[in-house]
Amino acid sequence: DAGITQSPRHKVTETGTPVTLRCHQTENHRYMYWYRQDPGHGLRLIHYSYGVKDTDKGEVSDGYSVSRSKTEDFLLTLESATSSQTSVYFCAISDTGYGYTFGSGTRLTVV
Amino acid sequence: QKEVEQNSGPLSVPEGAIASLNCTYSDRGSQSFFWYRQYSGKSPELIMSIYSNGDKEDGRFTAQLNKASQYVSLLIRDSQPSDSATYLCAVIGGKLIFGQGTELSVKP
């Protein structure tokens, strides 16, 4: 996925610990998004950003926070991880707010 | 009612056949529609976008939009085993909202 990198690719963490996922882009796109993907639910929007320090909630934002201090970085933090947050997390970027490019994903397991 | 609905499948077609994938949406104000393809274990990739009623063709892919019926479809002609993937319909309703995806299996 040229221009967009997610880290880590895999993570196992314990219930109750904070976790931060990173999305880094080199495309200078204005819009950045965090989605989670679960069987039976498809892709659901967690949070999104429309500029530096400008963020808003998506449909499943409870238990998550985000920060964007630079154009290229969008961080997703699970404040106190729970087993229900075990999922695959995708970051996406867009310059127009229309066609999105997705990162490779982070597989998070909360035990 | 879900905002974007797709049959989850799996949809199985023989190699060389036409695969037809369907999607309905609830927001009549939606203006932009997208089809993403996702291979197992990979990230979604954009394959088609459509903004006005009618058909839009790109190679073996045709997207069809009917705003009056709130219906979007994707046709894949001459289906190949490499087309086996999950196809996600997405609609701009302020933000991009995805359907659950339809799993397509093309049998040799």
In this predicted model, what pLDDT tens digit does every residue of B51-66 receive, in sequence order?
Answer: 999 999 999 999 999 9
Amino acid at B27: D
Most A CBs within 10 Å: which of B3, B95, B102, B103, as the mutation test of the A interface? B95
Q: How many Cα atoms are found within 13 Å in the side-chain-facing hemisphere of B95?
A: 22
User: Has residue A92 got a pLDDT over 70?
Assistant: yes
The answer on pLDDT for B27 being more than 70 is: yes
Q: What value does the mean pLDDT of chain A take? A: 94
pLDDT for residue A57? 94
Count of other CB atoms within 10 angstroms of residue A40? 6
Phi and psi torsions of A42, nearest 5°: 70, -155
Chain mean pLDDT for chain B: 93
Question: What confidence score (pLDDT) does residue B2 get?
Answer: 67
Q: Contact A55/A49 with Cβ under 8 angstroms?
A: yes
Residues of chain A neighbouring B25 (CB-CB closer than 8 A): none
Asked whether residue A1 carries a pLDDT value surpassing 60, the answer given is: no
Region A7-26: mean pLDDT is 97
- Which one has a higher pLDDT value, A93 or B9? A93
- Chain B residues with CB under 8 Å of A101 CB are 46
What are B73's two structure tokens? 């479809």
**Rounded Cα gap, residues A106 and A90, in angstroms:** 7
Three-state SS at B82: helix
Coil, strand, or helix at residue A33? strand
Residue B102: both structure tokens together: 């339809």
Residue B17 confidence (pLDDT) above 60: yes
Report the residue from B32, B49, B98 with minimal CB separation from A42: B98
AA identity, residue B71: Y
Is the pLDDT confidence value at A2 over 90? no
Which chain A residues are closer than 8 Å to B101 by Cβ? 42
SS3 assignment, position B67: coil
Ranges A68-82, B25-39, B87-101: which has the least confidence: B87-101
Interatomic CA distance for residues A26 and A49, integer angstroms? 16
- pLDDT given at position A42: 85
Question: Residue B31: what pLDDT?
Answer: 87
Structure tokens at B6: 């797709």
Q: What is the C-alpha to C-alpha distance for residues A44 and A75, in angstroms, rounded to an integer?
A: 17
Q: Shortest Cα distance from B13 to chain A (angstroms)?
A: 22
The residue assigned the tokens 């009612």 is B1
Residue A66 and residue A89 in contact, taking contact as beta carbons nearer than 8 Å: no
Confidence of residue A103 (pLDDT cuts 50, 70, 90): very high
pLDDT at B7: 84
Residues A33-72 have pLDDT tens digits of: 999 999 878 899 999 999 999 999 998 999 999 999 999 9
Q: Per the CB < 8 Å rule, is B49 touching A48?
A: no
A contacts of B42 (beta carbons < 8 Å): 104
Average pLDDT over residues B93-103: 87
Chain B contacts to A (CB-CB under 8 A): 32, 34, 42-46, 49, 88, 92, 95-101
What is the average per-residue pLDDT within A75-104? 94
